[in-house]
Structures are given as C-alpha cells and as structure tokens.
Amino acid sequence: MSPLVKIRSERDQMSAVERRIADFILENAQLLRDYSSQQLANALGISQSSVVKFTQKLGFKGYPDLKYSVGEAIARADNGDATHVATQAKAAFDESASGNLWRRKAESEEETRLINAPETLQAVAEAIATAGTKGKVFMIGLGDDDIYARSFALRLSLLGVPSIHNFDAPRMAASVSAAGAGDVLLVFSEHGNHPALCKIGRFFRERRGRLITVTRHTSNPLRAIADLALLVSAHDDRPYIQPVLYQSALQHLLDGVYVQLCEGDEQRHVQLLSNLERVQQMLEP
Amino acid sequence: MSPLVKIRSERDQMSAVERRIADFILENAQLLRDYSSQQLANALGISQSSVVKFTQKLGFKGYPDLKYSVGEAIARADNGDATHVATQAKAAFDESASGNLWRRKAESEEETRLINAPETLQAVAEAIATAGTKGKVFMIGLGDDDIYARSFALRLSLLGVPSIHNFDAPRMAASVSAAGAGDVLLVFSEHGNHPALCKIGRFFRERRGRLITVTRHTSNPLRAIADLALLVSAHDDRPYIQPVLYQSALQHLLDGVYVQLCEGDEQRHVQLLSNLERVQQMLEP
DNA sequence: CGTATCGAAGCATAAATTATTGACCGTCGA
DNA sequence: TCGACGGTCAATAATTTATGCTTCGATACG
C-alpha cells in the first residue's frame, strides 16, 4: 500500500508530534527526497529520534525505508490527493466523478483490509457460525448503524442463521438478558462511544457471550471491551463523502465475513444453496 | 532522465569495475532497495568507495541519491513488480479472496455505470431535489430492497429532504394517495415484477407524480412504467455472491446520485454542511 | 488524594552508512 | 626510464540512522 495512504489512514490514532510529522510528509512528500531524518526533525522542531520512531511504528524498517517508499509513491503519483482535488473542481456529474468516488472507495477498502487481521475475520465467521447452530446471534446498531445490522441479519438468515435484531438500546438490553455462553452479540457503532451500547456489551460479556464490535478504527470504549473487533478506515475531507466511504468499506468487510461463512463449511454451503433456491421460488411466481 | 537510461548510455565509456557496477544495477534494480553501498560492493567483490565514486561520476549527490532515483524509475516503469508481489505474498489466500471480491464489485460497478446515462442520473437528482423542496419524496422497497430505500432515505434526510418511507405495499398505497404533481416515488425492486409495487407505481403516475425505479437491468414490468429508471448490472455464477455484487453496484449508483445532490446546488450544499455539523453535535457529547 | 503504570518525547550515544583522503599500482606517452 | 594520470582500495572522517535511558505527563487504581 502506498505509504501516504497508510499514513493518512493511521493519522487519527497518532499523538500530536506524530501527527505533525504525518501532515508534513503528506503535504511535502516531494521535499522528503532532500531531507535527512535530522533535517525533517529540525523543520518541525522535534527530535530526530521521534522521526525514526514514527517510521518504525508505521512498519517501515527505518527512515530511509520510508523515504524510499514515498519516492516510489510519488513516482507512481498514487498519492490520492491530486485526483481528489481534481474531483472537487468539477461540479458536473460525469464519469470521472463517479470513477473517482469508486477509487476513493477502493482506497478505504484497502486500508480497512490491512487493519483487520485475516485471523480476526476467520474468528468472527467461526463465532457466528457456532452461535448460529448452537446458540443465538444478537445484533444491534443505532441510526445509520442499524442499516448495516439489518442487511447483515438478512444475509445471515439466508445461511440459516437467524438473529435477534433490535434497533434500540432498551429493547436490546432486555433481549440480551436471555444470552448465555457461546452466544454472539454484534454491535455496530461507528464511533463506539455510545454509553448504552457499552453497557449492553459489558452485560453481555458478564453472561459469558462473545462480543463482536464493528467500529471506526480509532480507539473507542466499545472496541476496548470487545472479544473481537472489526475496524473500518475511511477518510475524506468532505464531510458528505466520508460516510459513503465508511459504509462501503464496512459493507465490504462484512461481505468478506459473509463469503467466508458461505464457503467455510461444506454442510452450511449446501444448506445455503437450498435456502437460496427456496427463497427464489417464493419470489418468482 | 531516468537513472537507468543514463547508466546504460554511459556504460561504454566506463572502466571495468564501473561497468560491473552498472550491469549489476541495470539487472537487479529492484534489489537496490535493500542494499547499502557496502553490500553492493561486497556483492561485486569491490570496494565501497568505488561504488560511491561511481554514483558521483554519474552526477548523483551520492549513493542514497542514486538509490532513490532508481526507486522512482522502477515505480514509474512498473518493472519492479517482482519484489512488490513478493512482499505482499503473506496472507495470500485471504487477501486474494477478498481482493477478488472487490474486483468483481468493480466490474459490476463499471457495467452499471455504463448502462445508466449520466443524463438520467442528473435527472434523478434534480427530480429528487425539486420534490424535496416543493413537494414530497416517497420511497419503498420490500425485503432486501428495503435496505437500500432505508439507507438512501437517511442520506436524503441529512440533505434536508425528508421522505415518506414505507416497507409494505398496502401502507404505501395509502400514503401515495396524498401524492400530487411534482412529487417523486422511488421504488426499489431487484426483479421489478412485484404486482403490488407496479400497481402503486401506476396509481402514483395517475396522480401526476414522477416514478423513479431502481431495478436489475433486465426488462421488467416495473421499469416499463417508470419516468426514470436506474438500472443495476451484477452477475456471478455463485448464487451467494450475486446479491453482494448487486448491493454494491446499486449502492454506488445511489452514492453517485447522492454526491450529485450534495454538490449540485450551492444553497443545498451549505444546508448540508450545517446539517452535518448539527448531527455531529447531537452525537458527540 | 497519593501512587503505580504506561506511553510519548527528548537527549545522549552507539551503530550504521556514506563520503573523502591518501597511498598504491599499472599504463601510457615523452 | 620516468613522471603524469586514472583507477582502485583501505583507512578514516563525516554524516546519518537507530537505540537505550531518562523525564514527564496522563490515566488508572487503590
């Protein structure tokens, strides 16, 4: 992945100094060519070691490695900002605008894919699968987040995994009181700081259920108490674009889990196909 | 000028050692990334200072400068894929599965984009915009299709365009009886052959409302009676993948309309931003 | 509250990498 | 033959990068 995309995706979780480094690099990527780590540090009035530690935290071998990567990125011109500025200039709705939106979605998808370990996705799929056969699957999301919960619940039902779906906290609290070991609660909450949802989550865990959260990748109280946390990364300066990207990235994350559920187990796969056929028959005639 | 071209062009006037360096770099440019000047010297059995002198003779500031330039050149030319692929080889299975799904989504998006004329999208956006200020926006979808209606309704509400949203046919029939000229009815129906929805659509048109349908691109009775028809193309042999692609392509189509609505009109844009801010404030504290 | 803990940041310094110096050696032309 | 010259290298200086340690402030906890 482009180092610039990576930097931007993690910018939100950075400390003040780190964020200043990130911003400087994002805005002056071309200057990096002539900067040593010391010069960069001077330009920002911080210590050279902070620069090095910054690069290492991002997963680069060190400062020269980052520098090299940024050089490649610039050469490819895949910094994602230039195109993005070009979009804004154009008010007209045309192919390039739509194409750009898709490109931005692809970036969010990539960022999101990279911050979720494949093992986590696997684990989520398995937890849902076992809860689906031997226990119960609970699901909740408020406001916009209800959309994701709802659509995922529909998908699961096709797999023969019914779920208990609520869209307000009090009712969910009541439902969850019936939970037990091995059950799963999926909580969708973009910012993950809704007190009621945290409360329900904690309560659910007390009852020995597995708590799966789906939130933005910033650290948040909900994610903190989860057994399994799915994270979504999506950024855009334009406040009306960001939710579009968030939804798209989140949806793809869930689609990944869904596909894994579909393909993971032979028996479930057969069940799925027959369900789909039955649904088809109900709708057609 | 590309450093690789430069090296090749001066190769003939070089000394034996220099030529060996040149050849090595030309043939193993990707390896340079992980080589220090000392390592390169060792690989060739020559002294490190020869390497540095070589770079300086070519007009580079020094070894790191050459290295950086070669990195750029590789990135531009795309010759260096070998290393790139090798780096990402880990987690190959999951990544490729997920990446594949995304690629399929991109294909559906493209097909969908191509079968919807930009003018149609424009017209849809405008119809919704005017109905939003001077009339009413109705919205309906059944089953899975309700998801799209619901999420689009939420988006519209942020734009200051409230909508009358129902998820069953009888109630919608009742609601629609209040419709008049200039109003808009959005009907989501994947296969477009639900008799009740067709009936509602016809009834709505009798009352001089604009009927907008969102269906699969196959010909279907619902689409046939629409004033404006948005079409979605999404295919996959695997029956559990197809809905995923359908949803993604449809979502992107709607996102396009949404963005168009956001950016199309200055006044609405301002309204949107203040709405977003207000929503933000409601959620944060 | 006081205190333990953790992480972020800087300073000092070790380690590494890079650049330069000066010595050596072979070649070539006078 | 000898001196000039270019090329190479080893040694070393200079620079750049990486790391260990300390301090400080925020946060959690008793």
Residues B246 and B181 in one domain: yes
- How confident is the model over A124-182, as pLDDT tens digits? 999 999 898 888 999 999 988 999 999 999 999 888 888 999 888 888 888 888 888 88
- How confident is the model over B39-98, as pLDDT tens digits? 888 888 888 888 898 888 888 888 998 989 888 888 876 433 333 333 333 334 444 566
Number of structural domains in chain B: 2
- The domain boundary residue, chosen from A24, A55, A79: A79
Q: Are A183 and A212 in contact (CB under 8 A)?
A: no
- Maximum distance among all Cα pairs of chain A, rounded to whole angstroms: 73
Residues B278 and B250 in one domain: yes
- The domain boundary residue, chosen from B59, B87, B115: B87
Which chain B residues 217-236 have CB under 7 A to strand C? none
Minimal C-alpha gap between A45 and chain B (Å): 25
Per-residue CA distances from B198 to A26, A239, B83, B229 (Å): 53, 37, 57, 13
Residues B62 and B19 in one domain: yes
Does residue B92 fall inside a structural domain? no
Give one word for A80, left, alpha or beta, with left for phi > 0 and alpha for psi -120 to 50: left
Residues A184 and A245 in one domain: yes
* Band of residue B124 on the pLDDT scale cut at 50, 70, 90: very high
Residues B111 and B240 in one domain: yes
Residues B124 and B230 in one domain: yes
CA angle, A73 as apex, A72 and A76 as ends, to 5°?
Answer: 90
Chain B residues with CB under 8 Å of A99 CB are 113
Does residue A226 fall inside a structural domain? yes
Q: Are A182 and A205 in contact (CB under 8 A)?
A: no
Give one word for B35, left, alpha or beta, with left for phi > 0 and alpha for psi -120 to 50: beta
Residues B116 and B229 in one domain: yes
| CATH number for position A176 | 3.40.50.10490
- How confident is the model over B187-234, as pLDDT tens digits? 999 988 888 888 888 889 888 889 999 999 887 888 888 899 999 988
Residues A64 and A145 in one domain: no
Q: Are A246 and A233 in contact (CB under 8 A)?
A: no
Q: What is the pLDDT of residue B148?
A: 94
- Maximum distance among all Cα pairs of chain B, rounded to whole angstroms: 91
Residues A56 and A188 in one domain: no
Residues A197 and A269 in one domain: yes
Give one word for B266, left, alpha or beta, with left for phi > 0 and alpha for psi -120 to 50: alpha
| CATH number for position B72 | 1.10.10.10
Does residue A61 fall inside a structural domain? yes
- How confident is the model over A146-156, as pLDDT tens digits? 999 999 999 99
**Is the CB of B276 less than 8 angstroms away from the CB of A240?**
yes
Does residue B201 fall inside a structural domain? yes
Chain B residues with CB under 8 Å of A160 CB are none
Residues B61 and B151 in one domain: no
Does residue A133 fall inside a structural domain? yes
The residue among A97, A104, A190 whose CA lies nearest residue B259 is: A97
Question: Nearest Cβ partner of B75 from A76, A147, A259?
Answer: A76
Q: Which domain holds residue B7?
A: 3-87
Residues B11 and B37 in one domain: yes
Q: Which of A267-271, B8-12, B136-140 has the lowest mean pLDDT?
A: A267-271
- The domain boundary residue, chosen from B87, B108, B137: B87
